[in-house]
Amino acid sequence: MSSEQIIIRPARIEDAGEYLQLVEALARYEQLPPPDAEAKARLIEHLFGPRPHYRLLVAEHQGHLVAYAAHFLAYSTFVARATFYLEDLFVLPEFRHLRVGHRMMLTCARLAVAQNCGRMDFIVLDWNKLALDFYKRHGIDVRREWVLHRVDQEGLERLAALSEQCDG
């Protein structure tokens, strides 16, 4: 098996089943619960529906998906340009030695440049040494001065219900 046998391309609707299997593989790797049936349906609707929320690159080997990169455009008011936000970059372990991740990262960077983005952002789990080393080898800076804050769905509902008179 060689890296020339890997094709990187935008996802198509017929990739949906294998894409969801890769999402489950990433969840296992990250020790997180995989999406349930409703979330899987939303993933596909939000990707291929009439108003896509994100885009997906896939890497294909002999007709099967072996990697994906989910991404979307955000916006930076300080740069005054779109930000290419890389939500997930995942390669099946048995294909990592073929530099599929490297090729996916280059493809993402080229898409960002083509879309006149001012930067590319993504988050890496602090225990994921494999990913941290991968990005370091690519000369990508770690921005430790930024602290991720997250409001889950329950928190969003609670926040939305707060009175405007709140001391926040």
Taking alpha carbons only, the member of 98, 96, 106 closest to residue 29 is 96
This prediction's pTM = 0.91
As a whole number of angstroms, the distance between CA 38 and CA 17 comes to 14
Residue 29 annotated among the catalytic residues of the structure: no
The one-digit pLDDT tens for each residue of the chain (168 residues) are 555 789 999 999 999 999 999 999 999 999 999 999 999 999 999 999 999 999 999 999 999 999 999 999 999 999 999 999 999 999 999 999 999 999 999 999 999 999 999 999 999 989 989 999 999 999 998 888 988 888 999 999 999 998 776 665
Please state the length of the chain. Answer: 168
Taking alpha carbons only, the member of 116, 28, 14 closest to residue 65 is 14
CATH 3.40.630.30 for the 3-160 domain, yes or no: yes
Who contacts 124 (Cβ-Cβ below 8 Å, separation ≥6)? 131, 132, 135
Catalytic residue selected from 29, 54, 85, 135: 135
